[in-house]
Amino acid sequence: MEINADNLRMVNGQIKPINGMTEKLVSIFNSLNREDFIPEEFKQSSYVEKNLVLSNHRVILKPELVARIAMYIDLNENENVLILGSTTGYLTAVLSLIAETVIVVEEDDGYIKSSELAIKENNLNNIIYINKSISNGCVEQSPFNAIIIEGAVDHVPQKLLNQLENGGRLIGILSENGLCNAKMFTRKEAVFYSKQLFPCSLPVLPSFKEKNIFSF
């Protein structure tokens, strides 16, 4: 696959300098043209250092944020991962080149169709798309080694944490008092631990707003 110069500059300028970034992940980002996963109206902004704002408070995560999530979730090749709210599928594609299986729950059918076209063009065949509400997760396919909520939330529902395998981890971006921070939740038997990863800025996903659900 021919990689264009803009993609190479993005990787070298935005992803490679991240502290802790691995050579394996850098290679994966070099192997995928980001613009393949960007809608036509945003193609000219495929490699910019900012989130791309879609409709209904949805965003395509900027390259650096995708890279940080991929780095911290630290998947192994025999693991499965659930992605909640994938929009057009760039993070999904990146993780599919590491994980055994990627399950995607996305409630916008248009995003699923565009993502399926992009993964077909890139010969990715270990991704399963499910069209339903993202806030419920995917209990029928659980447990998962890893779960990623691709967007900010004001809570992490216990029912999502319960879908983790023992030793599994979930990355969520928590919006608290107007500030967003990525957090890692790890399951140890029936106990869940959390730690802060890094600050960022994203709108809260509509599906997670104003839910009276136990959260961490």
Please report whether residue 214 resides in a domain: no
Has residue 36 been placed in a domain? yes
Q: How many alpha carbons lie under 13 Å from residue 197 in its C-beta half-sphere?
A: 24
Q: Does residue 41 lie in a domain region?
A: yes
Residue 214 has pLDDT above 70, yes or no: no
Sequence-distant contacts of 174-181: CB under 8 A, at least 24 apart: 175/202, 175/204, 180/152
Residue 213 located in a structural domain: no
**Which residue blocks in the chain are alpha helix, DSSP H?**
5-10, 23-31, 63-73, 90-96, 109-121, 158-161
Total domains in the fold of the chain: 1
Q: What is the CATH number of the domain that holds 52?
A: 3.40.50.150
pLDDT in tens, 28-83: 999 999 999 999 999 999 999 999 999 888 999 999 999 999 999 999 999 999 99
Measure the CA–CA gap between 107 and 51, rounded to whole angstroms: 20
pTM (2 decimals)?
Answer: 0.93
* Domain presence at residue 124: yes
Domain hosting residue 127, numbered range: 5-208
The answer to whether residues 47 and 9 touch, using CB atoms and an 8 Å cutoff, is: yes
